[in-house]
């Protein structure tokens, strides 16, 4: 009998949550790996949902990134709709992080409208090509 260790949607969700938390914290994969005793490659595979991560490693990741375990489990709790969220670029995460630091509601609104307009123009241009 052969035992195949495969990943599940839960592993993909946890990996995506680790990626988001790591980028928001401004930590490289190499830096996170060093902090938790995993290699760059192991961190990448966990973030990509290609490798399972142990409970003790998840706790170490949360401590290294100064985030809660809840952030890493988001999307897999009882009663929550379990969905694999689309990956976001590091630029998108940086925009979101900095956007929340803008105190003026008028400025946030103007920036949100600008982004929506630029995105719509990009979508229209892509459709025309």
- What is the token pair recorded at 88? 């976001």
| CATH class label, 1-87 | mainly alpha
Rounded Cα distance, 127 and 71, in Å: 36
How many residues are there in the chain?
129
pLDDT tens string for the chain (129 positions)? 444 568 888 898 899 899 988 988 889 999 999 999 999 999 999 999 999 999 999 999 999 999 889 889 888 877 665 555 556 677 777 787 788 888 999 999 999 898 888 888 775 555 445
How does DSSP assign 1-66, residue by residue? --------HHHHHHHHHHHHHHHHHT--HHHHHHHHT--HHHHHHHHTTSS---HHHHHHHHHHHT
Coil, strand, or helix at residue 123? helix
3-class SS string, 85-99: CCCCCHHHHHHHHHH
What is residue 58's predicted lDDT score, i.e. its pLDDT?
94
The pLDDT of residue 96 is 78
The upper half-sphere exposure of residue 58, i.e. CA atoms within 13 Å in the direction of its Cβ, equals 18
């Amino acid at each position: 009998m052969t035992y195949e260790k495969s990943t599940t949607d839960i592993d993909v969700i946890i990996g995506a949550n680790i990626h988001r938390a790591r980028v928001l914290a401004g930590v490289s994969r190499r830096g996170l790996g060093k902090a938790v005793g995993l290699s760059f490659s192991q961190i990448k595979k966990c973030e990509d949902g290609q490798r399972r991560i142990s409970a003790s490693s998840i706790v170490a990741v949360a401590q290294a990134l100064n985030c809660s375990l809840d952030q890493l489990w988001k999307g897999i709790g009882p009663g929550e709709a379990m969905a694999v969220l689309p990956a976001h670029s590091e630029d998108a995460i940086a925009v979101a992080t900095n956007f929340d630091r803008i105190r003026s509601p008028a400025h946030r609104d103007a920036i949100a409208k600008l982004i929506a307009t630029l995105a719509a123009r990009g979508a229209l241009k892509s459709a025309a090509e």
